[in-house]
Amino acid sequence: MAEAPGGLEVVRRFVNTRNVENGTDDLADVDGLTAFCREHGLAQDGEMAEMAEMDRDRAVRLREALRGVLVIHDGGPPDPEAVADLNRLAVDAPLVTRLDDDAAVTLVPAAGGGGAVLARLLALVHGAEVDGTFARLKVCPADDCLWAFYDQSRNRSRTWCSMEVCGNRAKVRAYRGRSREARA
Q: Secondary structure of 65-86 in the HEC alphabet?
A: HHHHHHHHHCCCCCCHHHHHHH
Residue number, 89 or 142, with CB nearest to Zn ion: 142
- Enumerate binding residues for Zn ion (CB under 5 A): 140, 142, 145, 147, 161, 166
Of residues 93 and 145, the one with the C-beta less far from Zn ion: 145
Closest CA to 93 of 60, 112, 116: 116
Closest separation between CB of residue 160 and Zn ion, Å? Answer: 5
The distance of closest approach from Cβ of residue 167 to Zn ion in the complex, given in angstroms and rounded to an integer, is 8
For residue 170, the minimal CB distance to Zn ion (Å) is: 9
**CA within 13 Å, CB half, 121:** 28
Element (H, E) at 150: strand 148-150
Give the shortest CB-145-to-Zn ion separation in angstroms: 3
**Contact (Cβ atoms closer than 8 angstroms) between residue 119 and residue 94:** yes
Q: State the burial class of residue 59 (Cβ atoms within 10 Å of its Cβ: 0-12, 13-18, 19+).
A: buried
Name which of 116 and 140 has its Cβ closer to Zn ion: 140
Q: Which is nearer to Zn ion, 19 or 179 (by Cβ)?
A: 19
